[in-house]
Amino acid sequence: MAKKVSVITVNYNDATGLEKTIQSVLAQTFREFEFIVMDGGSTDGSVELIAKYQQHIDIAVSERDHGVFNAMNKAIRKASGEFLIFMNGGDTFHNEMVLQQVVPMLADADIYYGDNYKLSPGSKRLKTYPERLDFSFFYTSSINHQSTFIRRSLFERFFYYNESYKIASDWEFFIYAICHQNVPYRYLRQTIADYDFTGISSNPQSSDRFKEEKAQTIQRFFPAFAEDYKDVSALNSKRFLQFEHIKKYKIAFKLLKGVISLLLIFLPKMKKPVRE
């Protein structure tokens, strides 16, 4: 009999994080789940670690892959659970009762998402989410796969994770499923995961790549909103946010306006927008 949930862990050369994740998964009081570990051919002891826990893992694979999303896709194809949750190396369930509390709630919706803690050296921040996931939400944010249960059949109905992307594949899947296909979703009013916020997607140096991939998705599936996406990106740029911060301080803002007024003297006049 197929399990209600498949817990998928993807790992590459992070034995410390992998063991932390495995122990968290195995500590769940609810035991009727499928556990899949996909390792990318690690050489740091991860393979030996997987062997150590082999009797508690339903499917374990260690082979070269083409990146995290390729590994996640491999796991999806092997999974038999009705719902999937990706708890990758270094990520953990928030506590041992998460599956016990959530699995009974997995019913008619296709996507169930909850809150999570973002963990980085010296920092632990709670990330909460709205009950309504509209298009404007996905312009600047996303739900996280570490705290989201996804109906497995959605990948067969729509598409698997985009392996040409380095960062935005899960964001692409969520915005397409929710905003393009209008799949039913539900907000779980609880914290699901504590996740490792030190990976590539959370690295500020990767922000340009992330924006580029998101822009490609908007152009592909929502071309009518492509220009709006550029505007929103500009409004969320570092320079604009700095400008908004300066506005809070009267003297500093007056000085800034003075500098801007001086610069405008030497620039061509702005054209007024044409209204039809």
- Using one digit for the tens of pLDDT, what is the confidence trace for 57-83? 999 999 999 999 999 999 999 999 999
- Rounded mean pLDDT for each run of 10 residues along the chain, 276 residues in total: 89 95 97 96 95 96 94 97 95 96 96 94 89 88 94 98 95 96 96 82 70 91 76 50 60 67 64 50
What's the pLDDT at 18?
96
What's the pLDDT at 246?
60
Q: Rounded to whole angstroms, how far apart are CA atoms 239 and 91?
A: 33
pTM to 2 decimal places: 0.82
Length of the chain counted residue by residue? 276
What's the pLDDT at 211?
86
What's the pLDDT at 198?
74
Q: In this structure, what token pair is assigned to residue 247? A: 């506005």
What's the pLDDT at 260?
62
What phi-psi label fits residue 13: left (phi over 0), alpha (psi between -120 and 50 degrees) or beta? left
Q: In this structure, what token pair is assigned to residue 165? A: 């992307």
What's the pLDDT at 264?
58
